[in-house]
Amino acid sequence: MAGPLANKHVVLGVTGSIACYKALDLASKLVQAGALVDTIMSYGATQFVTPLAFRSITHRAVVTDSFDPDSEYSVEHVALAQQADVIVVAPATVHCIAKLALGLADDPLTTTIIAATAPLVVAPAMDGNMYDHPATQANIATLKERGVVIAGPGIGRLASGLSGVGRLLETPELLGYISYAMGKDGDFAGRTVVVSAGGTMEPIDPVRVITNHSSGKMGYALAEAARDRGANVVLVTAPTNLADPALVKVVHVRTAEQMGKAVQEHATKADALVMAAAVADYKPAVEAGQKIKKNDDELNISLAKTEDILKTAKGNFVRVGFAAESENLVENAKSKVTSKKLDLIVANDITAEGSGFGSDTNKVTLIDRDLAVEELPLLTKYDVSNRILDRVKALFKD
């Protein structure tokens, strides 16, 4: 299985919040992502959900008692601490956060955390006033200073019925934080990568647009993969159905022109620009001010060429383009490398099985500025991203 969590040992700490039920979903998604999940529950957590539920989802023992003579682990806080690739406390109560800030170790979770060197993610979940309390704020600040990744909390409806800050983040966001925490000191730490994604929308009139079938999945996977290697990532995206990746600066645009401006603004400080977006080559020369009426049998719309963002973007960064082709893949991609002065192009045959728009996998060919060709096998878009980033890393200008 591919992805940042495959075969990773994740210690999932669950403490006594009403949001405990959401930790079951997190455990399930972690397992589906290939992680080996060891759950440690506080006494409070066991009052909300049962250890059996976690055991059934993770297929592994659940720890609830430091002094259990029948434990499957020798000295379990040390055993789990040593094998952990990452520890995540979700939900984390006010009480647990306070104990962590003080370095207390009076239960199996806090004892494991203090015995571990693995990255720690803490996802607070609590009522708004509990979160706002100066003690909680000071404790969170202490944890941040120590390098703990604080995930959230989110804003929205709280269990009390009130609305405010204190919601446990949703599972996809938590997964993003966990991947980020594992890779934040990775080989892209200190680098800025700008990625574009999605298919631009060029307005015909206030109702209609010209667009294409790009789902944005390749660009979003690239943004996540770069984040998971420690990069600061800016994702400039045309509209997609995808959720914003956690810990990525996301700039939403619609048209090629807007994308060009946003890319240029961020690329100035970037180490790499990866243009995975499907940018319209042509747009309606004039956008009608009112909805065009259905009067004549034919409607002719005159199109004007859009600016080539990758060709015109100014700055000293690694330039990576994408070429989605339906014929003569390598020849067409090679001519783009030369005409746009690219460092690398990722060519994909959109007619190939398991490739292209909307799919979770892609089969691409990488062509560098010397026109050397490397054909990659069918891979997940996340794995393709890492292969691209490996090449980008070797091309960094300083």
Ligand X SMILES: Cc1cc2nc3c(=O)[nH]c(=O)nc-3n(C[C@H](O)[C@H](O)[C@H](O)COP(=O)(O)O)c2cc1C
Q: List residues near ligand X by CB under 6 A.
A: 15-19, 42, 44-45, 93-96, 125-126, 130
Residue closer to ligand X (CB basis): 25 or 375: 25
Whole-number minimum distance, CB 386 to ligand X, in Å?
37
Whole-number minimum distance, CB 151 to ligand X, in Å?
15
Distance CA 269, CA 35 (A): 35
Q: Under a CB-based contact definition with an 8 Å cutoff, are residues 190 and 196 in contact?
A: no
DSSP 219-276: HHHHHHHHHTTT-EEEEEE-S-SSPPPTTSEEEE--SHHHHHHHHHHHHTT-SEEEE-
The DSSP secondary-structure symbol of 66 reads: T
Whole-number minimum distance, CB 67 to ligand X, in Å?
16
Residue closer to ligand X (CB basis): 127 or 271: 127
Whole-number minimum distance, CB 164 to ligand X, in Å?
12
Whole-number minimum distance, CB 43 to ligand X, in Å?
6
Angle between the N-to-C axes of helices 171-183 and 217-227, in degrees from 0 to 180, rounded to the nearest 10: 50
Residue closer to ligand X (CB basis): 93 or 196: 93
Residue closer to ligand X (CB basis): 125 or 234: 125
Q: Which of 243, 239, 231, 274 is nearest to 256 (CA)?
A: 239
Distance CA 153, CA 30 (A): 20
Whole-number minimum distance, CB 217 to ligand X, in Å?
34
Catalytic residue among 7, 129, 212, 241: 212
Q: Which of 307, 310, 221, 237 is nearest to 272 (CA)?
A: 310
List residues bridging with 147 in a β-sheet.
none
Residue closer to ligand X (CB basis): 104 or 251: 104
- 5 CB neighbour count, 10 Å cutoff: 24
With b for 16 or more beta-carbon neighbours within 10 A and e for fewer, the 308-343 pattern comes to bbbeebebebbbbbbbbbeeebbeebbebbeebebb
Distance CA 33, CA 328 (A): 36
Q: Which residue minimizes CB distance to ligand X?
A: 44
Active site residue 295: no
Q: Which of 57, 2, 56 is nearest to 25 (CA)?
A: 57
Residue closer to ligand X (CB basis): 126 or 280: 126
Q: Under a CB-based contact definition with an 8 Å cutoff, are residues 251 and 236 in contact?
A: yes
Q: Which residues are catalytic?
A: 212
